Chain A
Amino acid sequence: MIPARALRLDFDSQAAARDFAILAKPVHGKRLAYLDSGASAQKPRQVFDAMRTFAESEYANVHRGVHYLSGAATDRYEAARRTVQKFLNAAREDEIVFTKGGTEAINLVAYSYLAPNIQPGDEIVLSVMEHHSNIVPWHFLRERQGAVLRWVDVRDDGSLDIESLDDAISGKTRLVAITHMSNVLGTVTPLAEIVKRAHAKGVPVLADGCQGAVHEMVDVQALDVDFYVVTGHKLYGPTGIGALYAKRAYLKAMRPFNGGGEMIREVRRERITYADPPARFEAGTPPIIQAVGLASALDYLSGFDRAAIRAHEHDLLAYAREGLRNLNWVRVIGDAPGKGAILSFEAEGMHAHDLATILDREGVAVRAGHHCAQVLMERFGVTSTTRASFALYNTKADVDALLAGLAKAREILGHG
């Protein structure tokens, strides 16, 4: 086991950055400014060490084995579940289902919870700033079962229009599916308030926490949210692992999604019975080493004062925002109060892909495109943006590299 760090009251991002070996490797001969953690975060060596040590000393398939290693691996896998439980402050460990990522977690809710409960004309409420992973599964229910999608708008500053949420929820609404933090705008939604308003009308809420859980401290009990989705690779953990939190009552009532080993109680020729949650939703051999890696990443993150990380990221965001304010040819999209450390913008006369190519040659990694949020792009009348997203290991030097790269792009691409 990797011991958790001693809790720190302040946060030294330069020291933390030294845990991430990849950040020290130059790109195109330049110092790397990795500003694409919103797509996938880099991982600290503690995570690789934990996965390697586990794989080399305690690995076997989990559950049902009687030999020593199977027992050891099962203990570590279930300990990882408790780490996720604690990270989200879930009431019970069996409210945590491991999935292969955020997308699978949302699809699990769509297939196992909502699909059996949807009649033609029933409504699903979404915001226009959802990632495609929190849109497409609901479109499936529209195409296949006649569900109606109702959209909650954002204001011009990117904040959620909470009054339009009230209008969108009707007697036919079966679910509100909404992001905790927009992957494009950085907007943090008032999740507790959303849940309160939805519950007042008897409607459950699914929150996509793929960004939110990275940057905000999540307490699913305090939020009273019914489903909360996280993915490991944005939380400084490995790919191939994510988790669904769902209230026990929902999980108990949900039918299985994938069928196979581990998720059954009994299989006969003419009948089967299912295992209790969470095993019911974890058919087949799960991502065991990845679960250990995810737990290590959450331990790593929890070893810092997370409020101090948040303050650090907000400082970087403010610094970058101020830098862009001085460039009158750059338009920032998303300035919601209290937003998290994601900055999307358009630059006059430059397409996002040309800009990102030039930034790349300066060692600055950003994302360009529609960010799997085409409904939001349409809302703001753009086809693509350039996005810088900040993580605990970023520093002001990274922002300076971004700003210098922008000036260079202006020089190369001219003034449109």
Chain B
Amino acid sequence: MDNSLRELYQEVILDHSRHPRHYGALDGATHKAEGYNPLCGDRVNIYLVLDAQGRVTDIKFEGKGCAISQASASLMTEMLAGKSRVEAERLMQGFLHLVKGEDGGELPEDAREHLEVMGGLSAFPMRVKCATLAWHTFKSALEEGAQ
């Protein structure tokens, strides 16, 4: 068996894709954005509630697509709840480095432990965009998605 496939589709990822956390629309969202990849049809909608200081006090997502895109969105929502804008952006940069297999150890230790399950993607460059869709959508919700 191809170990890189086992690493990519490990149980944590399959579990998140089948039983996504923080799933659904969020009434009273202060920010939202729709993510869509026209090449493969993956969809991820992000809903946020930011407090006056810009901290993520609530986050949810809805989506449809491959296991990687949906698991990544689910993991991201777990990671970002309670984070400040600066912390969130640092996590995003760290995550992008992680899935591309690039150096850049910006991820704090707890985040690294949490997101490392996506590290197997670095062996599948064609699929990196699946994992980054949720994060890019989160960013556009932050920057352009004020309701």
Contacts and interface: CB of A to CB of B under 8 A. Distances in A.
- Give the size range of B's interface with the partner: 20 to 34
A384 B40 contact: yes
B91 interface: no
Interface stretch (B63-71, B104-112, B135-143): B63-71
Given A351-B66, A353-B130, A354-B68, A384 B4 contact: no
Contacts of B5: 357-358, 361, 412
B64 A361 contact: no
Interface stretch (B6-14, B48-56, B72-80, B94-102): B6-14
A384 B40 CA distance: 8
Contacts of B4: 361
B86 interface: no
A2 B66 CA distance: 47
B39 A354 contact: no
B124 A357 contact: yes
B41 interface: yes
Interface in A368-416: 368-370, 383-384, 408, 412-414, 416
Given A361-B2, A412-B5, A412-B9, A384 B14 contact: no
A413 B66 contact: no
B18 interface: yes
- Give the size range of A's interface with the partner: 10 to 19
Contacts of A384: 40-41
Interface of B: 1-2, 4-6, 8-9, 14, 18, 39-42, 64-68, 124, 126-127, 130
Contacts of A351: 65-67
Contacts of B9: 354, 358, 412-413
Contacts of B18: 416
Contacts of A357: 5, 8, 124, 126-127
Interface string A329-365: 0000000000000000000000111100110011000
B41 A370 contact: yes
8 contacts: A351-B66, A354-B9, A357-B8, A358-B5, A361-B4, A361-B5, A412-B5, A416-B18
Contact of B39 (A28, A369, A412): A369
B127 A353 contact: yes
A94 B14 CA distance: 58
B129 to A, nearest CB: 10
B139 to A, nearest CB: 23
B70 to A, nearest CB: 8
Most chain A CB within 10 A, of B5, B18, B42, is at B5
Given A412-B5, A413-B9, A353 B66 contact: yes
Contacts of A358: 5, 9
Contacts of A369: 39-41
Nearest to B41: A383
A413 B10 CA distance: 9
A412 B6 contact: yes
Nearest to A351: B66
A353 B9 CA distance: 12
B67 A354 contact: yes
A240 B116 CA distance: 43
Interface string A201-227: 000000000000000000000000000
Contacts of A412: 5-6, 9
The 9 closest A-B pairs by CB, nearest first: A351-B66, A353-B66, A383-B41, A361-B2, A354-B67, A354-B66, A412-B9, A361-B5, A384-B41
A79 B78 CA distance: 65
Most chain A CB within 10 A, of B6, B14, B39, B124, is at B14
Nearest to A368: B40
Most chain A CB within 10 A, of B2, B39, B127, is at B2
Contacts of A361: 2, 4-5
Contact of A353 (B2, B6, B40, B64): B40
A70 to B, nearest CB: 43
B14 A383 contact: no
A413 B39 CA distance: 22
